[in-house]
């Protein structure tokens, strides 16, 4: 018997009973569809986060005052707003593993231009901030050391603030009011959207010295810094230096419990993402395994029914010369046909929903890109095929062993 005959016989058997075939495949369809959808969504989210980490730069670190409590314990913040001094920043800048550092002072207040009003985050920082945060302008310039020296009232504004105050008209050179002081706009930032689920287009950056003058703060609200290649070494260096300067005794277990500062890095986030991604993959594979197993049982059940129903037909096929192998392969191919077709339908539905979802989310989160995991699709197809064989073999063997005359007499 030719392979072509086997396929045409199997496909006929599947298409004759369309509703039943569809219901039989449902378990496989849902299982495979869910896997394709979930891996696709996972990949999209990963893409968004990786994009943001990339944007921040893998060597970017931030130091915050305070402590978020013992690791793995309660996460109640222990704020200590005066923990980081500008001297700390200078000391850190001396470290060979740190290439640049920018202390940050936040200035509360709103922004006004004529009758227009916006609600920005006003950031006072040194010119290194632009480098550390990987910021680019679309118009104008950043503030420089001169502005810093003379505590100029100049501002670099985020794209959203520019839109809110100027509606697309030129902003550079205009005088705006920040926290009731007059500032000159010297630059507008390129729009970047969300970074780590935070809008950063609403920033206004002013010279650090100006911010210190306005607020009277003698401490930094945070440091941003860039490290050399080995971020983990820089991480340890910075931590050791600050502990030494702050006179912190490290507990015996080496934990950060006694620290009055927090060090965070983009690379750290990337590591966490990697861990999450692996557990997500394991989780999805388990779901796929369970649903394909359940789907497989459904297939086996219906194949047994189908073999029983067609006992006479199988008897006839044997009477006209079908070998055991012919019958075995016919039923097996039928079963694989069902699981594979179910798998393909599942993939189509999974991709379809994934696509619609991506198109919807894209409206709120521009970085969310439609993505599918090719690996997951092939894995799903392979598993569907294996399911078809594994759960088709018993009914197929049963059919192939039928005695021709007994099968023909079957009522």
Partner 1 sequence: MPSTNHSNGLNGNGNSTLIETRKLCKSYFNDELETPVLFDIDLTINKNEFIAIMGPSGSGKSTLMHILGFLDHHTGGEYLFHGKHAQEMDEDTLAKVRATRVSFVFQAFNLLPRASVLQNVMLPLIYHPTIPASERLERTKKAIEAVDLTDHSDYLSNQLSGGQKQRVAIARALVTEPEVIFADEPTGNLDSTSGIQVMQALQELHSNGHTIILVTHEQATADHADRIIELFDGRITKDTNKFKTRKAKRENSLKK
Chain positions contacting partner 1, by CB under 8 A = 1-2, 4-5, 9, 12, 16, 312-313, 315-326, 403-405, 408
CB of 312 to partner 1, least distance (A): 7
The burial of 333, by beta-carbon neighbours within 10 Å (0-12 exposed, 13-18 middle, 19 or more buried), is given as buried
CB of 6 to partner 1, least distance (A): 9
The residue among 286 and 405 lying less far from partner 1, judged by its C-beta, is 405
Q: In whole angstroms, give the CA distance from residue 335 to residue 339.
A: 6
The residue among 319 and 374 lying less far from partner 1, judged by its C-beta, is 319
The residue among 191 and 404 lying less far from partner 1, judged by its C-beta, is 404
The residue among 41 and 327 lying less far from partner 1, judged by its C-beta, is 327
CB of 16 to partner 1, least distance (A): 6
- φ/ψ (deg, to 5) at 226: -110, 140
The residue among 9 and 335 lying less far from partner 1, judged by its C-beta, is 9
| Residues β-bridged to residue 224 | 62, 102
The residue among 289 and 404 lying less far from partner 1, judged by its C-beta, is 404
Give CB contacts under 8 A, 24+ apart, made by 352-357: 353/33, 353/37, 354/36, 354/37, 354/40, 354/41, 354/44, 357/37, 357/41
CB of 393 to partner 1, least distance (A): 18
CB of 333 to partner 1, least distance (A): 14
Q: Hey, how many other C-beta atoms are within 10 angstroms of the C-beta on 320?
A: 8
CA distances to 151, 153, 155, 192, 207 from 173, rounded to whole Å, are: 17, 12, 10, 23, 16
Q: Hey, how many other C-beta atoms are within 10 angstroms of the C-beta on 199?
A: 13
CB of 351 to partner 1, least distance (A): 34
């Amino acid at each position: 018997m030719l392979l072509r005959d086997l396929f045409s016989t199997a496909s006929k058997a599947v298409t004759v009973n369309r509703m039943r075939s569809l219901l039989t495949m449902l378990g496989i369809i849902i299982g495979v569809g869910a896997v394709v959808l979930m891996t696709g969504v996972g990949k999209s989210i990963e893409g968004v986060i990786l994009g943001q980490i990339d944007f921040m730069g893998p060597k970017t670190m931030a130091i915050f005052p305070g402590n978020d409590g013992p690791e793995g314990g309660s996460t109640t913040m222990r704020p200590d707003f005066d923990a980081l001094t500008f001297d700390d920043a200078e000391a850190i800048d001396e470290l060979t593993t740190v290439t640049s550092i920018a202390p940050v002072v936040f200035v509360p207040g709103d922004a006004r231009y004529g009758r227009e009003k916006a609600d920005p985050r006003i950031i006072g920082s040194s010119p290194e901030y632009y480098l550390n945060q990987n910021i680019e302008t679309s118009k104008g310039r950043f503030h420089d050391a001169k502005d810093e020296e003379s505590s100029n009232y100049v501002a670099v504004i985020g794209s959203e603030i520019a839109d809110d105050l100027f509606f697309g008209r030129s902003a550079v050179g205009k005088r705006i009011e920040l926290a009731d002081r007059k500032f000159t706009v010297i630059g507008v930032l390129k729009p970047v959207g969300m970074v780590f689920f935070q809008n950063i287009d609403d920033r206004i950056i002013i010279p650090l010295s100006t911010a210190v003058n306005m607020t009277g703060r003698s401490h930094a609200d945070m440091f941003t810094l860039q490290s050399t290649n080995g971020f983990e070494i820089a991480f340890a260096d910075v931590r050791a230096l600050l502990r030494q300067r702050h006179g912190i005794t490290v507990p015996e277990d080496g934990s950060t419990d006694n620290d009055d500062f927090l060090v965070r890095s983009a690379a750290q986030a990337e590591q966490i993402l990697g861990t999450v991604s692996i557990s997500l993959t394991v989780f999805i594979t388990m779901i796929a395994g369970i649903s394909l197993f359940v789907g497989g049982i459904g297939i086996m059940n219906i194949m047994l029914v189908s073999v029983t129903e067609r006992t006479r037909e199988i008897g006839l096929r044997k009477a006209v010369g079908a070998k055991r192998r012919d019958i075995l392969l016919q039923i097996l191919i039928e079963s694989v046909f069902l699981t594979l077709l179910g798998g393909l339908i599942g993939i189509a539905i999974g991709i379809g929903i994934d696509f619609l979802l991506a198109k919807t989310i894209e409206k709120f989160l521009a970085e969310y890109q439609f993505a599918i995991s090719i690996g997951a699709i092939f894995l799903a197809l392979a598993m569907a095929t294996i399911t078809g064989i594994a759960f088709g073999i018993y009914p197929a063997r049963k059919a192939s062993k039928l005695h021709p005359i007994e099968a023909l007499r079957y009522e």
